[in-house]
Amino acid sequence: MRILVTGGAGFIGSALTRHLVLDLGAEVLVVDKLTYAGDRRSLRDCEGRPGFVFLEADIVDGARMEAAINAFQPDAVMHLAAESHVDRSIAGATPFIHTNIVGTFALLEAARAYWQDLEPEARAAFRFLHVSTDEVYGSLGETGAFTEATPYDPRSPYSASKAASDHLARAWHETYGLPTLVTNCSNNYGPFHFPEKLIPLVALNALEGKQLPVYGDGGNVRDWLHVEDHVRALVAVLRGGRPGATYNIGGRAERTNLQVVQAICDTLDRLRPDPEGPRRRLISFVPDRPGHDRRYAIDPTRIEQDLGWHARETFETGLNRTLRWYLDNDWWWRPLRERRYGGERLGLAGLLRRAAVAG
Ligand code: NAD
């Protein structure tokens, strides 16, 4: 397998690259712009491995993408590069529009130019896997789950930009026949997760005895999936998915945000007790995120039945492994906390503007 992975220095992209290179022996070209969210140290175990190549480049640069694809001659493109943090998209949507929409367009065009000149066998085998989120489906009530037939209803600049890119990937299949696949996944967690996201943010603040901010009443529900289950699902879709189809990926692990924060406190109390007392004392409630979707839940029946994929981790086993990883790997997260991101809250600008308008 020769696979071009965009966004391979990010959280999920690096987990995918490690799985492809270290477990499956694939040749991988990572294309990544190394934004604040990209970190080559996450690929430390792949560096120097035969067939692993890293290219620092912007996916918006279509000519560069075309040259990279032509030089590498991949069997597949797995597209994960994106601006991915909802709070940042509220503070400023420009890079989200640029990378998620224009970048996906540039990559699809580069892949199409390469694919249409392939020999018939390689042309039939080629795949473009576009990795997306369940947030494109909007918010659920108390019951039900997103299926592949759920209409799109994105609510944030982030999810709107991802929705646009999903439509582009599907249109390139319908219009040009490019063998695209789309996956929509629920919230991931696991090692090498940038410490602005809920689970690492809360875990590291808890270890440092800082306040643990919970948005609103903490009742928002997310469906959690360990990142290693996600990357196994992506490989299953790449190998067995039907071009043009969409696959929802989820771990059947719904939790409220408050339950997640409490589980982190309790797990850390077991793994590394705090002399000051149980960490639940650090929980504090802060004003809600503007437009905060209430509940997401994924129905993964299609990928389970058609491709035989099932999540291996429960939320409890996955969280335990993840928190152990953070305890053992401060070489990775400490410089990020100290130099680039200190654990402060992002995306309040819109909220403050709203409050001002409301008087
Ligand atoms: P991430 O923010 O950790 O990583 C994104 C990577 O893309 C970074 O390495 C960054 O440097 C790179 N990148 C950004 N802009 C780029 C550009 N213009 N050109 C090249 N590289 C660029 O994101 P993640 O959490 O690993 O998410 C990966 C993908 O999975 C995204 O498409 C995201 O929408 C999707 N997704 C994420 C989750 C989740 O819970 N994290 C859930 C479902 C889907």
Handedness of CA 161, 42, 282, 251 (dihedral sign): positive
Which two three-digit tokens encode residue 85? Answer: 């943090």
Count of C-beta atoms within a 10 Å radius of residue 95: 16
Out of 6, 12, 133, give the residue to mutate to test ligand 1, the one with the largest number of ligand atoms within 8 Å of its CB.
12
The dihedral formed by the CA atoms of 114, 115, 116 and 117, expressed in degrees to the nearest 10:
60
Is residue 348 over pLDDT 50? no
Residue 185 lies in a domain: yes
* Residue-level pLDDT at 340: 58
The CA distance from 172 to 243, in Å, is: 11
Confidence bin at 352 (pLDDT 50/70/90)? very low
Residue 249 lies in a domain: yes
Residue with the smallest CA separation from ligand 1 atom 17 is 58
Which atom of ligand 1 lies nearest, measured to the CA of 158?
34
Residue type, 327: L
Residue with the smallest CA separation from ligand 1 atom 32 is 80
The CA distance from 243 to 39, in Å, is: 31
* Residue-level pLDDT at 353: 36
The CA distance from 143 to 141, in Å, is: 6
Confidence bin at 2 (pLDDT 50/70/90)? very high
Domain with 301, as residue range(s), is 2-190+224-254+295-314
Count of C-beta atoms within a 10 Å radius of residue 271: 13
pTM for the complete prediction? 0.94
Q: What mean pLDDT value characterizes the chain?
A: 93
Residue 51 lies in a domain: yes
The residues facing 99 across adjacent strands are none
Active site residue 134: yes
Residue 65 lies in a domain: yes
CATH, residue 125: 3.40.50.720
Phi, psi for residue 185 in degrees, rounded to 5: -115, 155
The CA distance from 225 to 184, in Å, is: 12
Per-residue model confidence as pLDDT tens digits over 236-271: 999 999 999 999 999 999 999 999 999 999 999 999
Confidence bin at 220 (pLDDT 50/70/90)? very high
The CA distance from 297 to 159, in Å, is: 15
Out of 36, 84, 107, 188, give the residue to mutate to test ligand 1, the one with the largest number of ligand atoms within 8 Å of its CB.
84
Total number of domains constituting the chain: 1
Which two three-digit tokens encode residue 223? Answer: 């469906």
Residue 16 lies in a domain: yes
* Contact criterion met (CB below 8 Å) for 188 and 226: yes
Burial (CB count within 10 angstroms: exposed 0-12, middle 13-18, buried 19+), residue 103 = buried
